[in-house]
Amino acid sequence: MNEERYILFDQYLQGELTVDERNGFENQLSQDPEMAAEFETFKNLHVQLEDKFGYEEEREAFKANLKTISDKHFNTSKPKVIGLNAWYFAAAASVLILFGLFFFNYNQNPVFEDYNHPEQASFTERGETQETMQQAQTAFNERQYAEAIPLFESILKEKKTPEVQYFYGISLLEESHYKKAETVFNELISGTSVYKDKAKWNLALSKLKQKDYKGCKETLQTISQDYENYDDVQNLLDDLD
């Protein structure tokens, strides 16, 4: 564990390096893929921590702990032999600091897969679109969303119903066509069908899948407590806090 490296990462992100130090750091990153990868991870965790907490206090505590460990066990200016136990303690303490300040908070964020449980489609449409509807239903229920999308689009050209729109929107979301999916969900939300709250839930899931936690939370807060799966809404809100 290189404590000095993490302090350097933090100083770079905070703009505390001189021009020469900054140029030297960037040159190191371009020549050392392993260091560059560590920096990207650190930077991502830095953003997560800054979004979730008032960052300055945690940052100063982090730096102080690393400096204490580094001065006590890794200061090469002091002719000192470090025993195995001391080295192990320093490394373990460093891991705990990093884990406590960064990884724990980073991993607190809920993930799309934990809440994504699409219901089964069951269409009763009859007439000219019956065959296409059956194909779309089968594709959707078998999670063949890429196949279901053009089938739903064909059906919607003939007859636009909230039910078909809803399952079409879910298919788009599953294939990460976020803008199209959200357009469908917002249209359902502006209507009065029974799919209104379901569309809000899936709009929130779209935000979650894109790691837009603020947008996800804001959408969840608009869902009525009468929604049949409101327990999921409350659980996701709790996970986002």
Distance (Å, whole) CA 207 – CA 209 = 5
Distance (Å, whole) CA 167 – CA 145 = 10
Half-sphere exposure of 86 (CA within 13 A, CB side): 10
Q: What is the pLDDT of residues 100-111, one digit of tens each?
A: 544 444 457 899
Q: Tell me, yes or no, whether 98 and 119 share the same domain.
A: no
> Residue 57: pLDDT above 80?
no
Selection from 210, 194, 199, 195 nearest residue 170 by Cα: 199
Average pLDDT over residues 18-42: 86
Distance (Å, whole) CA 42 – CA 24 = 18
Kindly indicate the confidence band of residue 89, based on its pLDDT and cuts at 50, 70 and 90: very low
Average pLDDT over residues 42-57: 60
Whether 44 and 52 have beta carbons less than 8 Å apart is answered as: no
Question: Is residue 27 helix, strand or coil?
Answer: helix
> Residue 51: pLDDT above 90?
no
Average pLDDT over residues 65-89: 49
More confident residue, 144 or 74: 144
Long-range contacts at 130-135 (CB < 8 A, ≥ 24 apart):
133/164
Domain count for the chain, please give it.
2
Of 56, 84, 106, the residue at which a domain comes to its end is 106
Residue 4 tokens read as: 């000095």
Selection from 240, 223, 233, 196 nearest residue 115 by Cα: 233
Q: Tell me, yes or no, whether 147 and 194 share the same domain.
A: yes
What is the pLDDT of the chain when averaged over all its residues?
A: 81
Of 106, 141, 161, the residue at which a domain comes to its end is 106
Whether 197 and 165 have beta carbons less than 8 Å apart is answered as: no
Q: Tell me, yes or no, whether 196 and 233 share the same domain.
A: yes
Task: Give the range of the structural domain holding residue 34, as residue numbers without chain letter.
Answer: 3-106
> Residue 233: pLDDT above 90?
yes
> Residue 53: pLDDT above 60?
no
Percent of the chain with pLDDT over 90: 50
Q: What is the pLDDT of residues 159-174, one digit of tens each?
A: 899 999 999 999 999 9
Q: Tell me, yes or no, whether 153 and 97 share the same domain.
A: no
Selection from 107, 112, 115 nearest residue 235 by Cα: 115
Average pLDDT over residues 182-202: 97
Q: What is the pLDDT of residues 147-159, one digit of tens each?
A: 999 999 999 999 8
Distance (Å, whole) CA 210 – CA 182 = 12
Of 106, 141, 167, the residue at which a domain comes to its end is 106
Report the CATH number at residue 210: 1.25.40.10
